[in-house]
């Protein structure tokens, strides 16, 4: 199977290749916070796997799935933390904000570690 590249002209008249980042158009949207974090981690820790996914056109799909799962997980954990340790009853807005920011950081740290662990464990067993 021979892949042919298509090109477009930029404003200076140069031909730029149109590179496909995903086989599915629904994954052509921008990545969110968690997807970008996972992408950077994969690129730094396993550049070969990164290139394989990119060449197959499944990189964006995988990163979007990770992003969506992580966002759902973050909301779930944050809600559980707020339920377990509600904001203090006080008139001081800064105390409430500090408390909620602390809970948010805890949830983010948990999700970030879970992303890294899942990527590290999937890499050797997941050929594509």
Kindly list the domain boundaries of the chain, sorted by start residue: 30-125
pLDDT of residue 121: 78
Pairing state between β 15-17 and 7-9: antiparallel
List pLDDT tens digits, range 112-127.
Answer: 999 999 888 765 544 4
In Å, how far are 19, 55, 118, 127 from 42, measured between CA atoms?
Answer: 20, 15, 11, 14
Mean pLDDT for 94-109 is: 96
List pLDDT tens digits, range 56-67.
Answer: 888 888 999 999
How does DSSP classify residue 25?
G
Buried b (16+ CB within 10 A) or exposed e, 38-76: bbebbeeebeebbeebbeeebbbbbbbebbebbeebbee
pTM greater than 0.75: no
List pLDDT tens digits, range 15-46.
Answer: 776 655 566 677 767 889 999 999 999 999 88
pLDDT of residue 128: 46
pLDDT of residue 98: 96
pLDDT of residue 9: 80
């Amino acid at each position: 199977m021979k892949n042919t590249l298509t090109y477009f002209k930029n404003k200076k008249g140069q031909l730029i290749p149109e590179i496909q980042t995903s086989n599915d158009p629904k994954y052509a949207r921008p990545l969110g916070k968690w997807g970008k974090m996972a992408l950077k981690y994969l690129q730094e820790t396993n550049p070969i796997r990164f290139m394989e996914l990119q060449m197959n056109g499944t990189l964006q799909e995988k990163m979007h799935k990770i992003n969506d799962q992580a966002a759902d997980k973050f909301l779930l954990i944050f809600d559980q933390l707020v339920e377990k340790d509600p904001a203090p009853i006080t008139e001081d807005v800064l105390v409430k904000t500090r408390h909620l920011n602390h809970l948010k950081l805890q949830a983010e740290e948990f999700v970030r570690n879970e992303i890294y662990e899942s990527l590290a464990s999937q890499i050797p067993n997941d050929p594509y």
